[in-house]
Structure 1
Amino acid sequence: MDWSLITNYMPLYLKGALVTFQIALLSIVCATVLGYLIALMRLSPSKILQSLAFVYVWVFRGTPLLLVLFFFYYAAPFGLKLSAFSAGLLAMSLNSAAFKSEILRAGLLSVPKGQLEAAEAIGMSPIKKMIRVTIPQAVRLTIPPYINNCVILLKESAQVSIVTVPDLMLAAQRAYNSTYSPMETLGVAGVLYLTMSSALMLLQYFSEKKLRISTR
């Protein structure tokens, strides 16, 4: 193990890790908002909204993230020319939203109908019912699969390096091309990915612990 290689390229790794964190975090936020809207469309009484949401989920769950990434980077519709970062963010958000929508839909469906009927009986508005009855109960069931999906999204963000997004994986590739030392270059990247993933896993652990305490 040549520690000098690690220290020499550490600024490059940290810069790449910051880009990975940024694109993963933005993708999680965008995918969560879009996924929630799609979940509501799937549960809507409107057959048109249900059909549109079903087609969206079917398409993006059935196509690889890499293919979607290439599509937006090389063949974006309407003549758009997206930067590598924008194409990566868009592809990751749209792809992840399809999976998150199913997770969120399952959580919303898990709320007993009796409680929703009781909320309506005491005069709660649909928004108030959603905030005070549906969401708090759905969150407890969706946290494990939701954060697991976020961890997967963080790891899959390495694919954006293929279209030259200067993320952690591209930093490791550049370091390897200069040193030809896979142990040091790929090892550091692996440790940094594991660190970021572990932070999400800890968030899941403490969130579940807090929810268990609050329900006692």
Structure 2
Amino acid sequence: MNWDIVSNYWQLYLQGALTTFRISISAIICATLLGYFVALMRLSSFRLLNGISFIYVWVFRGVPLMLTLFWIYYATPFDIKLTAFVAGLVAMSLNSASFKSEIIRAGLMSVDKGQLEAAESVGMNPIQKMVRITIPQSVRLITPPYINNCVIMLKESAQVSIITVPDLMLAAQRAYNSTYSVAETLGVAGAVYLTMTSLIMLLQTFIEKKLRMNKK
């Protein structure tokens, strides 16, 4: 192991890791918000909303992230030119929201209808029912698959390097182009990715323990 590579390129890796963190967290937030509204559309009794959301989920669950990245970065309509970071963020958000919407929809559907009817009978409006009944109960169910999807998002963020987003993977590629040392350059990147995903999984364990304690 040539540790000189690590010491000489640590700033490049650090900048790449920060970019990976920024784009991943931003995409998780955007995908969660979009996924929630898509889930509500899927549960809607209006056929138009239901149909639009179904087509959206069908398309973005079936199309690879890499294709979406290329399409948004190189083929946006009306001559709109997005920066590499914004294009990567949009592509990741659209792709992940299609999966998160199904996770959220399953959680919302898991709530007993009897409880919702009881809440309505005591005068709760739809927003109160959502905040007091539906969301607290569905969170326990969706937490494991939701966070697993976040881990997948962070790993798949490496694909944004193909449109020149200066993320961790691109940092490793640049270090390799200068040193031609495969094991060291990719090994450092792998260790950083593993550290970040491990932190997310530790967060998942902490949240699940809190939810179990609150349930008791």
Report the TM-score range of the alignment, normalised by the length of the smaller protein: over 0.9
Aligned residue in 1 for 2:161: 161
Give yes or no for the alignment of 1:57 onto 2:62.
no
Q: Distance in 1 between matches of 2:2 and 2:57?
A: 47
Kindly provide the amino acid, as one letter, of the partner of residue 117 in structure 1: E
Q: Distance in 2 between matches of 1:78 and 1:56?
A: 21
**How far apart are residue 30 of structure 1 and its match?**
0.2
Q: Distance in 1 between matches of 2:77 and 2:62?
A: 20
Aligned residue in 2 for 1:130: 130
**How far apart are residue 169 of structure 1 and its match?**
0.1
**How far apart are residue 78 of structure 1 and its match?**
2.1
Give yes or no for the alignment of 1:23 onto 2:10.
no
Report Cα offsets for 1:73-128 as digits up to 9, x if no partner.
10012220011111100000000000000000000000000100010010001101
Kindly provide the amino acid, as one letter, of the partner of residue 60 in structure 1: F
**How far apart are residue 5 of structure 1 and its match?**
1.1
Aligned residue in 2 for 1:77: 77
With structure 1 as the length reference, what TM-score do the two structures score?
A: 0.99
Aligned residue in 2 for 1:86: 86
Which runs of 5 or more residues in structure 1 are unaligned?
Answer: none
**How far apart are residue 181 of structure 1 and its match?**
0.8
With structure 2 as the length reference, what TM-score do the two structures score?
A: 0.99
Aligned residue in 2 for 1:143: 143
Aligned residue in 1 for 2:179: 179
Report Cα offsets for 1:8-62 as digits up to 9, x if no partner.
1011000000000000000000000000000000001101100000000000001
Q: Distance in 1 between matches of 2:104 and 2:156?
A: 21
Q: Distance in 2 between matches of 1:108 and 1:199?
A: 27
Q: Distance in 2 between matches of 1:196 and 1:128?
A: 36
Aligned positions, number: 216
SS where residue 124 of structure 1 aligns?
Answer: coil
Which runs of 5 or more residues in structure 2 are unaligned?
Answer: none
Aligned residue in 2 for 1:35: 35
SS where residue 40 of structure 2 aligns?
Answer: helix
